[in-house]
Structure 1
Amino acid sequence: MRNSRMKLDETDKRLLAALQRNGQLTAQDLGEHLNLSPSQAGRRRQRLEAAGVIANYAARLDPEALGLDVQAFVQVQLGTHGAKPAQDIARLIANRPEITSAWTMTGEADYLLRVWAEDLKTLHSLIHDVLLAHPAVARVQSQIVLDQIKRDAPLPL
């Protein structure tokens, strides 16, 4: 059953921890790390992939190397609630590549957006020309990241 909770043994957890650090590990590498044969390690990985525990593999890119010098968290508060405004905002968020993560929230803000921009001018444009220009948006508040003291970490196992 996909996406249901799966019981993980200690070997599964060690395999997942290793893959979170390096998703390119081969079955040979995993077998050596887990003290299993490559075929056993490969079958475990395939089982975890099929169960949806391993959702995908991706490369982690360096934003600075790509010219993305500004990271910000942007809170968006809607003035109008309902299915249509929520769908419109979700579509807007999905179509903006500079918004790399988005959450719906409890509390004052309805959405929390993680944004990467080339510079402050680009961030300003996103906030004023895109978000605040949307008819359902009542308020936007942004916090610019000065330094990230802990990188996005693997999930705790």
Structure 2
Amino acid sequence: MTAPKRARSAQPSLDRVDRRILDHLAGHGRSSLADLAEAVSISPSSAQRRLRRLENEEVVRGYRAVLDPIAVDRGLVVHLTVTLVDHTENTVGRFERHIVDLAGLVSCHHVTGDVDYLLRIDLADVEALDVLLRRTLARVPGVARFTTMVATSALVDRVTRV
């Protein structure tokens, strides 16, 4: 799956203060400007200008809520590797069209090595995994094989866990 390309005139120039702002926001996305400014030791007006610039340059691409995975039936974290039968445009395109709308899909990366794709899918339980494997993935044309790994704990998960 390819991320959408966006035109940028140049890589944004980030100084030490910008990086401190980004570090703070990564862990405290709902901070007020006053809290952000205090956390990085600048004035609120300076924090607002810098934050607006970082948003306009798409360094900050958005804000989101981190949900309780159990409450939203996504407590089972599954990593899947997928190998395709070939790498033709038709096979790759067909696979990507089937995968992109999977319920619970957190990420899908085209990777190098012995497999073609690495997926993370958060599901309700083992029964949902069985449905995914037997009724969905096994029926996607062009899939040669897949391997399933169920996470038993998370040491670090900066994507979906707080």
TM-score under structure 2 length normalisation = 0.87
Aligned to 2:119: 113
Aligned to 2:148: 142
- 1:104 pairs with one of 94, 103, 110: 110
Q: Aligned equivalents of 2:156 and 2:141: distance in 1?
A: 36
1:142 partner SS:
strand
- 2:18 pairs with one of 7, 12, 24: 12
Query: What's the CA shift for 1:3?
Result: 7.8
5+ residue gaps, structure 1, are none
Q: Aligned equivalents of 1:67 and 1:73: distance in 2?
A: 17
Contact residue 3 and residue 53 of structure 1 kept, 8 A: no
Q: Could you list the per-position Cα deviations for residues 18-64 of structure 1 after superposition, in whole angstroms to 9, with x for gaps in the alignment?
A: 10011111221112222222111000001011111111111111212
Contact residue 99 and residue 114 of structure 1 kept, 8 A: yes
Identity over the aligned pairs, expressed in percent?
A: 31
Query: What's the CA shift for 1:121?
Result: 1.4
Query: What's the CA shift for 1:151?
Result: 2.3
1:63 partner SS:
coil
- 1:94 pairs with one of 87, 100, 118: 100
Runs in 1 of length 4+ with deviation above 4 angstroms?
none
Asked if 1:27 is matched to 2:33, the reply is yes
Q: Aligned equivalents of 2:58 and 2:32: distance in 1?
A: 19
Q: Aligned equivalents of 1:74 and 1:3: distance in 2?
A: 36
Q: CA RMSD in A?
A: 1.6
TM-score under structure 1 length normalisation = 0.90
5+ residue gaps, structure 2, are 1-6
Change in 2 beyond 3 A, CA 1:4/1:123: farther
Q: Aligned equivalents of 1:142 and 1:4: distance in 2?
A: 40
1:65 partner SS:
coil
Count of residue pairs brought into register by the alignment: 153
Asked if 1:125 is matched to 2:116, the reply is no
